Amino acid sequence: MTEVFEGSFTQQEPIPEAGIEAALAVLRHGRLHRYNTVADEISETAQLEQEFAACVGAKYCLAVASGGYAMGTALRALGVKPGDKVLSNAFTLAPVPGAIASVGAEPVFVGVTEDLTIDLEDLQAKIGQARMLLLSHMRGHICDMDRLMSICDAAGVQVIEDCAHTMGAAWNGVPSGRHGVVGCYSCQTYKHVNSGEGGFLVTDDVALAARAVMLSGSYMLYERHLAAPPPEAFATIRYETPNISGRMDNLRAAILRPQIADLETQCARWNERYLRLEAGLRDTPGLTVIERPPQETMVGSSIQFLLLDWPGDAVQEVVRRCGALGVELKWFGAAEPVAFTSRYDSWRYADTPPMPKSDRVLAGVVDMRVPLTFSLEDCDLIARIIRAEVSAAFQRAA
């Protein structure tokens, strides 16, 4: 392969001009703290919460410091205690089991299928071990949510959705984050909106929402929220709920509001790039494309493929050779965690038995970011490079 890609896999688009102007206004008046307002002023953060609640069709929304904080807050607000077991995906990123560990609970990992979604057969087998499922829509892949909710509802298991990779996505027309009792989202730089760090928690449960607001560090200023329960919901909760501060500030909220307004357009642009890459990778010898179900409205901000049952050194060679040509791939099969690619057996604070079926899938998962700074022609070039290197490695092994 002689072509080389010279773009960046970590360069994001600029913040929209409307967000920059709003951020400058906040900097000029200096009222960055969400509760620091003047008479008749509604904070940027309160407005953002109201707008995101409307975006996903939720009654209540809380803007917080990170997606991980949102998950930890959801677990606390639902009454998860130290020593409790919480079901979660074996294929996810470290903040998900980290949120479980942060409340002193124990993750019980559920397997992954070749579609890169939670294994519903394994979930059914393990459903009696916990009363909570922290479900990760890892890398934007959504499982059969109708079947998952049927399994969980029948067992009395509450579902928290980690939607860090699925803001703007849906299953059967229901926005991601709205099947379970709580949806948690990330606004970290590599997600679908960018405030550096930040997150949302959404729910229709009035008591849960009130506890989350108090946990986030509202003091007794909960009446300044537009997307929180009415004051009477806090009558007892305000005395019983600890302050574990993790608020979003007005500067980040100002940056995010125009991005939320433009989310649908941005999701369409991601999908255009994803489908271009997918088309270029199809029918590559030895490479399995992840098929997306028709019920899923996806957001293709990253793309994955499988080199299933390949020797580890052969996968590593593909990753190395693509990297030398400017294409940055991540592999979930390495014996040691690298950057973001840790997996269930890397998190040794959780006592987890081996999961051979999931290990086989994870050993073949290759992952790549798809930033919106890529052009469609960039996507064509990247696909050609991957296709050439995978094909050559497959032929060498034949």
User: Which pLDDT belongs to residue 35?
Assistant: 98
Q: What is the pLDDT of residues 42-62, one digit of tens each?
A: 999 999 999 999 999 999 999
pLDDT given for residue 340 in this prediction = 84
- Dist. CA 108–CA 63, nearest whole Å: 28
pTM of the model: 0.96
Residue 242 CB: number of other CB atoms within 10 A?
10
**339: confidence class by pLDDT, cuts 50, 70, 90:** confident
* Cα gap 112→9, rounded to integer Å: 26
Pairing of strands 365-369, 302-306: antiparallel
Q: Is the C-alpha dihedral spanning 163, 166, 167, 172 positive or negative?
A: negative
Q: What is the DSSP string of 104-117?
A: T-EEEEE-B-TTSS
Q: What is the largest CA-CA distance in the chain?
A: 73
pLDDT of 398 higher than 90: no
Cβ atoms < 10 Å from Cβ of 293 = 14
Domain 17-261 has CATH 3.40.640.10: yes
Q: Burial letters for 26-35: b for 16+ Cβ neighbours within 10 Å, e otherwise? A: beeeebbebb
Residue whose pair of structure tokens reads 């560990």 in the numeric block: 101
pLDDT band at 394; cut points 50, 70, 90: very high
> Per-domain residue ranges for the chain?
17-261, 263-397
Express each pLDDT in 281-290 by its tens digit: 999 999 999 9
- Put residue 198 in one of left, alpha, beta given phi > 0 → left and psi -120 to 50 → alpha: left
Tell me what pLDDT residue 12 has. 95
One DSSP character per residue, 299-366 reads --SEEEEE-TT--HHHHHHHHHHHHHTT---EETT-SS--TT---GGG-TTS-----HHHHHHHTTEE
Residue of 120 and 352 predicted with greater confidence: 120
Under the banding of pLDDT at 50, 70 and 90, the label for residue 203 is: very high
**3-class state of residue 250 by DSSP:** helix
Q: Is pLDDT of 211 > 80? A: yes
CATH class of segment(s) 263-397: alpha beta
Quick check: 302 and 139 in contact, CB under 8 A?
yes
Tell me the pLDDT band of 1, cut-offs 50, 70 and 90.
low
**Which secondary structure element, helix H or strand E, spans residue 44, and what is its range?**
helix 44-56
What pLDDT score was predicted for residue 252?
A: 98
* Strand 170-171 to 174-175 pairing: antiparallel
Burial class (CB in 10 A: 0-12, 13-18, 19+), 58: buried
Question: 229-243 pLDDT, tens per residue?
Answer: 999 999 999 999 999
Closest by Cα among 275, 133, 307, 269 to 192:
269
pLDDT of residue 351: 87
What 3-state DSSP class applies to 170?
strand
The two tokens of residue 64 are 């917080």
pLDDT band at 336 (very low <50, low <70, confident <90, very high): confident
Q: What is the mean pLDDT of the chain?
A: 97
- pLDDT-derived band at 338, boundaries 50, 70, 90: confident
- Predicted local confidence at residue 397, as pLDDT: 80
Q: Mean pLDDT over residues 20-42, rounded?
A: 97
Helix axis angle for 67-77 and 95-102, nearest 10°, is: 40
